Structure 1
């Protein structure tokens, strides 16, 4: 297992840590775990591309780790009454749909590819919204909705590229 994949795996460990910290009302510590997860996401991709260590395992596990962390954050914020049900349900449907479709396509032997610039922008906006929500600053919910809209645009772009990639092969 290479360093980028170890960084990705560390995000899976951060999920229960985040949940525990959030549920015991250690909001700042929980936020720091989420931000650390975001940092490892940036690092694993950078290191993998820079050192030629991009693997199919990493391509599969990286977005799964991100989506599971995001779902954990959404559930926590929903339980905490900080985001509306509609936002949580919309995000949940999209994230679960992406996890299921990616797994389905992977196990059918279809090729997938790493996140594109739209995905990175969407992730950045999500993290910014989470930061505002955790710090109880204005605009967090509105920014969250912006990220949700961006996530659906990103999904459309991803599936168009995915179709082209797998039609050509």
Structure 2
């Protein structure tokens, strides 16, 4: 009895305030339906891939400038990454290249905003709707990028508060 109580007391910090943080993050994203804290963007992407259950061989158009872990995770889940180059002046995904890369196997667009340079998500989302594509963005370097008129535009947003990010959790 006492040992179990002590163990629960030691682990209770993991739950203290968790719901409040989840709700605050959902509000930050203009009333997103859900906020699920995970260890990292990588963990979030694994969870997302498991949830989506896209067919093996499905293509994901990804920002060419990305951390190596992102394509590795997508490929782990049987997805095929198609890197899309960036415009060197804006650091945004080149929309002409993105549009020309879509095939009948394309199922998702994964956009990573880099160095605070926010891609035009309105244009990307409108294009994705025409092709029934799932849109995910990595906002670790541009936290409010998916907002449009105060509401989220994409299907899923991933971000982290790691020690090298613009906003940190002081890990």
TM-score grouping bracket, smaller chain normalisation: under 0.3
TM-score for the superposition, normalised by structure 2: 0.24
Higher strand share: 2
TM-score for the superposition, normalised by structure 1: 0.24
Q: Work out which of the two has the higher radius of gyration on C-alpha atoms and give 1 or 2.
A: 2
Higher helix share: 1
